Amino acid sequence: MRALRYFLLLTIICVFCALAPNIAAAQNSAPQFQTEQSAQEHCPADTVVWVNTKSGVYHFKGQRWYGATNAGAYVCQQEGDKAGYRATRNGQ
């Protein structure tokens, strides 16, 4: 009986650990837009950036990967920063 309790507890912990990153990402996500114009309308006083949603790295207009990664969206820079995204380090 005791072994069954430990097994159930361990199973619950494993399920929670598997889902926790997705829950945190959903809570911290910034509004994403398919077009630069719609993002700019959402935050007219902020800079619009292109975020690679797989890596969490964003690019500024004029940089190589701005609007060009396979998985990405336009976001407002300040909201992206709050969501945990970061600027590219190599200027591309």
Find all residues with CB under 8 Å of 32, minimum gap 6, and list them: 51, 53, 73, 74, 75
Is the model more confident about 10 or about 56?
56
Look at residue 87 in the predicted model and tell me its pLDDT. Answer: 97
Separate counts of helices (H) and strands (E) for the chain:
3, 4
Average confidence (pLDDT) over 8-25: 50
Q: What is the mean pLDDT of residues 19-23?
A: 46
Task: Please name the residue that has the structure tokens 């940089």.
Answer: 63
pTM of the model: 0.70
The whole-number pLDDT of residue 34 equals 97
Tell whether the torsion through CA atoms of 75, 80, 85 and 90 is positive or negative. Answer: positive
pLDDT at residue 3 in the model: 67
Q: How does DSSP assign 34-48, residue by residue? A: SSHHHHHHH-TTS-E
- Looking at residue 54, its amino acid is K
